[in-house]
Amino acid sequence: MDCCGKTIASRSRYAQLVPPTCYLPRGHTGKCDQYPYLKHLADIAPHLAKKIRRDATMTTGAAWASSDAGPNRILRWVILQGDEQLREFGINIESLSPIIQAKLRDKAASYEDCMGVARRLTWSAYGVPGAPRPPDHVRTPLEAEFGPIVSGSTVCLICRSPFDFDDYAKAKRGKAVIETAHAAPRRHDTANVGFAHRACNIAQGDKTLDEFYEWIRKILRNVEAGRGHP
């Protein structure tokens, strides 16, 4: 789609690094909007719309939530900035352990890639059984970019089992049942993201999907060969 692309005024201090831009069609009427395709979901499933925005643009990092372990959540494109610039934003990357530094840098992605991921996840959400039908102004640009929205075509990126639209709102022990997942964990772009069961995402860890399936094959071969106990 040919986008308007105008800069949207923002009070975020990060907006001076990469100003948010409008993703409505060029020549649109009305106000510019960074996430026009999320408006419908924001009305009917606000929790999911928020999750898509957050997962597309922010690093995860519950495991590093302590002050000496680095920032918990940070915009992915901010990490692409130099260490000097990061310091101006209160992130002293050199003070973090090498492991945390590497983890942070693994999550870096450009603004354009993050916006693409948000569109891709929105398209995927509408393909889950039980999802509402998107209005045409949402459906048309998403289908032009990613193909037809077909109910049931979205399955867990990892185990390929279906889930239900209601699952997005479910949590177990305070953790969402459905998470955003990456076929290759270090690539945050449209070709590489989808939704997955939290349990599957944890099992995949930092392996690519191919590595993960090969790992499972090896386990099953060992089990089937009757190795070890019992």
- Largest Cα–Cα distance of the chain, in whole Å? 68
Part of the chain binding Zn ion (CB under 5 A), chosen from 3-11, 90-98, 137-145, 202-210: 3-11
User: Given the structure tokens 């100003």, which residue do they identify?
Assistant: 19
24 binds Zn ion per the rule CB under 5 A? yes
CB atoms within 10 A of CB 148: 10
Nearest distance in Å: CB 166, Zn ion: 16
Closest distance of CB 157 from Zn ion, Å: 8
CB 61 within 8 A of CB 73: yes
Cα separation values, 33 from 6, 7, 51, 140, 168, Å: 9, 10, 18, 17, 25
Which residue from 58, 56, 73, 168 is spatially nearest to 118, judged by alpha carbons?
56
What's the closest the beta carbon of residue 6 comes to Zn ion, in angstroms? 5
Stretch binding Zn ion (CB under 5 A), from 42-50, 101-109, 112-120, 151-159: 151-159
Q: Report the distance separating Cα 98 and Cα 25, nearest Å.
A: 43
Structure tokens at 24: 């409505």
State the minimum distance, in angstroms, from the CB of residue 116 to Zn ion: 18
* Smallest separation, CB 33 to Zn ion (Å): 7
Please list every residue from 4 through 23 that binds Zn ion, using CB under 5 A.
Answer: 4, 6, 22
| Contact string 153-172 vs Zn ion (x = CB under 5 A) | ---x-xx-------------
Instruction: Give the nearer residue to Zn ion in terms of CB position, either 34 or 110.
Output: 34
Residues 56, 114 contacting (CB under 8 angstroms): yes
Which CB sits closer to Zn ion, 69 or 183? 183
183 lines the binding site for Zn ion (CB under 5 A): no
Q: Which is nearer to Zn ion, 34 or 101 (CB)?
A: 34
CB 192 within 8 A of CB 71: no
Q: Is 178 in the site for Zn ion (CB under 5 A)?
A: no
Out of 40, 119, 182, 197, point to the residue binding Zn ion (CB under 5 A).
197
The smaller minimum CB distance to Zn ion, of residues 4 and 209, is found at 4
Instruction: Name the strand (E) or helix (H) holding 212.
Output: helix 209-224
- d(C-alpha 30, C-alpha 53), whole Å: 22
User: What CA–CA distance (Å, rounded) separates 70 from 204?
Assistant: 24
Number of residues interacting with Zn ion: please give it, by CB under 5 A. Answer: 10
Is residue 32 a contact residue for Zn ion (CB under 5 A)?
A: yes
Residues that bind Zn ion (CB under 5 A): 4, 6, 22, 24, 32, 156, 158-159, 197, 200
